[in-house]
Amino acid sequence: MQKTVPRCQLLIFFPTDKSLNSTDYMNEIRLARKHIIQITPVLGINLKWEDLEGLNINRGLVHEYNPMQFDNLCKELYDYALKFKEDLEREVSEKKTDIKRINK
């Protein structure tokens, strides 16, 4: 975890009532924040938004898990990750272009 999380650009996690009290889980969140990694939770079964409030998670980025709609969730998360990647690549490209302009 200490090596993997800092290498990520997006952290998608599935909190459970058990993981919310886990030191490993909280360490992943801490590492993601330390390395400015976007955190996107998927609200699991038997959890409420209030359960995540203590984590200071952006609710606008939360997806809800419904076992009857698992294929839809997978597609939604896949599309979300692709868009995130495209936006990140665009941002990097724009910064490189700005640096080239400044260095001229």
CATH of the domain at 42: 3.40.50
> Does the pTM exceed 0.85?
no
Compute the distance between CA of residue 37 and CA of residue 8 in angstroms, rounded to an integer.
7
Residue type, 57: I
pLDDT of 5 reads 92
User: For residue 92, what are the domain limits?
Assistant: 5-103
Determine what percent of the chain falls in helix, strand and coil, rounding each to the nearest 5.
60, 10, 25
> How do the pLDDT tens digits run along the chain, 104 residues long?
889 999 999 988 888 888 888 888 889 989 999 999 988 888 877 888 788 777 777 666 667 777 888 898 889 889 989 999 999 999 989 988 888 888 87
Domain count, the chain: 1
Compute the distance between CA of residue 96 and CA of residue 21 in angstroms, rounded to an integer.
42
Kindly state the tokens that stand for 79.
């599309």
pLDDT of 73 reads 86
Identify the helix (H) or strand (E) that includes residue 13. Answer: strand 10-13
pLDDT of 82 reads 94
